Amino acid sequence: MAVTNQPGRFQPSEFQTGLCDFCDDCGTCCYGLLCYPCMGCSIASDMDECCLCGLGMPIRSVYRTRYNINGSLCTDFMVVGCCPVCATCQLKRDIDRRKEQGIF
């Protein structure tokens, strides 16, 4: 019998909040604005990475790949380069929502 579907295959998704959805979680937004490096360490800790890895394009790309979120290295680079605080807050909101849903 031939296998026609790969096991564990699932459809690509999107981040659960938009890049500029600050009002979805004002606490996360304030946290990112007031203590950006601390938020990076929090994200790295959530993903079992080194604290220095919590900010920037690599952690965003790893997260997108892990949860099959649409995008590319190029878009990750552009988003983080143009608005690092927005990108980091979006990632933190997504992590928090996935924790609440029990899928993190």
Q: Could you tell me if residue 14 is inside a domain?
A: no
Q: Could you tell me if residue 48 is inside a domain?
A: yes
Q: Could you tell me if residue 59 is inside a domain?
A: yes
- What global pTM score does this model have? 0.86
Q: Could you tell me if residue 3 is inside a domain?
A: no
The mean pLDDT value for 9-20 works out to 87
Q: What is the pLDDT of residue 24?
A: 87
Confidence of residue 10 (pLDDT cuts 50, 70, 90): low
Q: Which domain holds residue 82?
A: 25-101
Pick from 11-15, 29-33, 49-53 the range whose average pLDDT is largest. Answer: 29-33
Give the other-Cβ count within 10 Å of 10's Cβ.
Answer: 7
Q: Is the pLDDT of residue 88 over 90?
A: yes
Q: Could you tell me if residue 9 is inside a domain?
A: no
Domain count, the chain: 1
The mean pLDDT value for 33-49 works out to 94
